[in-house]
Amino acid sequence: MFDIEVGYIGLFITCFLAATVLPVASELFLIGMLAAKYDPILCLIVASTGNTLGGWLNYAIGYLGNPKWLIKVGATTEKIEKWQIKVNKYGAWLALLSWLPFVGDIIGIALGFFRANIFVSFLFIGIGKFVRYGVIVLFALYC
Count of other CB atoms within 10 angstroms of residue 16: 21
Question: Would you state the pLDDT for residue 5?
Answer: 57
Q: What percent of the chain has pLDDT over 70?
A: 97
Count of other CB atoms within 10 angstroms of residue 109: 25
Quote the CA–CA distance of 4 and 10 in Å, as a whole number. Answer: 10
Question: Would you state the pLDDT for residue 117?
Answer: 97
Q: What is the DSSP string of 3-35?
A: -HHHHHHHHHHHHHHHTTTS---HHHHHHHHHH
Quote the CA–CA distance of 32 and 28 in Å, as a whole number. Answer: 6
The sign of the dihedral angle between the CA atoms of 14, 34, 48, 9 is negative
What is the SS3 assignment for 119?
Answer: helix
The DSSP code for 99 is T
Stretches in the chain below the pLDDT threshold 70: 1-5
